[in-house]
Structure 1
Amino acid sequence: MGGLEKLVVVAACVLAMTSCASDPSFQVAAMEASDSGDQKAATVLARKEVARFATADQCSPKVTVNCGTLALAYGTLARYQILDGDRMGGESSFRSAKAALRLTGLETRASATGVVYGDVSEAFWKAGDRARAIDVFKEGRTAGADQYLYMTSAARFVDQQQQQQQQQPTDQPPPTAPGPSVQATTRTAGTAPASSPLQPTPLQPTPLQPSPLQPTR
């Protein structure tokens, strides 16, 4: 189990009202299945985790006690779906996670937001869709995610790009103006020679030739 995945389990335990030790979730089993390459099994287990908290007494407009945990469950489900090639299903689960985040208490919303957006962004990155991974990272940053989001591959990539853009102007020397000799040469080479005015050609008189007389009969 990777470092980011372990943090998901810890976050789920913190956000959930039940203890992970006394009431183990399907999260650990799903992550182990995912690590072994069986994304379909991980997806099945993640759906069971979602079902635990997708009830009115766990997360609803009136009862929001486990909305953060439900958001995490939807986020991990989205991750496994994306890694399994089911992008449409992953996007649908991601939307459900964001809906649960809107019902999450302010004291835990930033943490839950960081985990959800971080999971989905990292899944897209691993699946090869880096453009979508970066978009999810930027969306999570705007949504107020905590530091977990900035541990993702997309976050590191964006940070490297920003550093390169900041260093680029100082690495390039300022352009220098051409010297006088170059300017003079340019002006000389680009100047067309002046044409001399045309002189009128004097007209020469044409001598008249007498017409021969024809004899009259």
Structure 2
Amino acid sequence: MTGSSRGRRRGGRLGNLVAIGAGAALLAACAGSSASYQEAALKASEDGDQKTAVSLARKEVERFSGPDQCSRSANVNCGTLALAYGALAGYQIMGGDRTGGEGSFIQAKGALSLTDPAIRASATGIVYRDVSEAFWKAGDRARATAVFKEGRAAGGDEYLYMSSAAHEAEPKPADPAADMKAADAQPTDAKAVDGKVTDPKAGDPKAPGSRPAAAKLVNPRQSDRPPTN
């Protein structure tokens, strides 16, 4: 494995660990319990076993999908349920089940709408980040970028910007130095000779687009006069 690939793998794992850490904090805030299938599902996914990851994520969804956990009358664990649905959507997408992933994503959005406003921005950032990153890894960068933009509009916080699509969606600043170099590289027909700027095409009637040299004006009366001593 090359150094650059090691760096990319470390960066990806670090991003996942930070997102999972944020998710764990939200789990503790919402559910009051650290027991979760999320870390086991993440490990299975990183090992390439998306089927197991999906199965574990479904168990997490089941824990918090009851009406006493997340509903209009009881929203104590809606943030946790949103995270669980977001993770499930990501594993489904990476496993090739895009339809199932989009369905789980819709369920996650529904749970987010009922989430406590105090943690909604963080939950939104993590859910949209998970789904966007899944599409990115699955090769659908257009959809990944669209999900990122949707999450940004929905109020996702800094966790959303950990997604790979964030770099594609954010406008890139102009490079004045590059513009100056491009301008300097433009060809010019003029050249300096003995400190004067001349046109190499001037005076050459055979050159395409050439301009004839200016004729010297002579007074005919003066030219007819014989030289005087």
CA spacing shift, 1:74–1:170, aligned 2, 3 Å = farther
Query: How big is the shift at 1:33?
Result: 1.1
Which of 31, 51, 74 aligns to 1:17? It is 31
CA distance in 2, matches of 1:63, 1:169: 58
* Alpha-carbon displacement from aligned partner over 1:134-180 (angstroms, at most 9, x marks no partner): 11111111111111111111112334x613xx226555328799879
Which stretch shifts more, 84-93 or 28-37? 28-37
Which of 66, 88, 112 aligns to 2:99? It is 88
Query: How big is the shift at 1:188?
Result: 5.8
CA distance in 2, matches of 1:2, 1:72: 18
Which of 102, 114, 119 aligns to 1:108? It is 119
2:74 is the counterpart of 1:63: yes
CA distance in 1, matches of 2:169, 2:122: 21
Which of 51, 57, 68 aligns to 1:40? It is 51
Q: Which runs of 5+ in 1 are unaligned?
A: 190-217
1:209 alignment counterpart: none
* Alpha-carbon displacement from aligned partner over 1:95-121 (angstroms, at most 9, x marks no partner): 111111111121101100110000011
Larger radius of gyration: 1
* Alpha-carbon displacement from aligned partner over 1:58-94 (angstroms, at most 9, x marks no partner): 1111111111111000000000001100011111111
Say if 2:19 and 2:159, in contact at 8 Å, map to a contact too: no
CA distance in 2, matches of 1:3, 1:47: 24
CA spacing shift, 1:9–1:188, aligned 2, 3 Å = closer
CA spacing shift, 1:103–1:183, aligned 2, 3 Å = farther
Query: How big is the shift at 1:44?
Result: 0.6
CA distance in 1, matches of 2:70, 2:76: 6
- The size of the alignment, in residue pairs, is 183
Question: Aligned partner of 1:107: which letter?
Answer: A
CA spacing shift, 1:83–1:183, aligned 2, 3 Å = farther
Which of 105, 109, 114 aligns to 1:98? It is 109
Say if 2:69 and 2:76, in contact at 8 Å, map to a contact too: yes
CA distance in 2, matches of 1:39, 1:12: 20
CA distance in 2, matches of 1:138, 1:170: 32
Identity %: 52
Structure 1 segments (4+ residues) deviating >3 Å: 168-172, 174-189
2:217 alignment counterpart: none
> What TM-score, normalized to structure 2?
0.71
Question: Aligned partner of 1:17: which letter?
Answer: A
Describe the SS at the equivalent of 1:104: coil
Query: How big is the shift at 1:19?
Result: 2.1
CA spacing shift, 1:173–1:7, aligned 2, 3 Å = same
| RMSD, aligned CA | 2.5
Q: Which runs of 5+ in 2 are unaligned?
A: 1-11, 191-197, 213-229
Question: Aligned partner of 1:111: which letter?
Answer: S
1:210 alignment counterpart: none
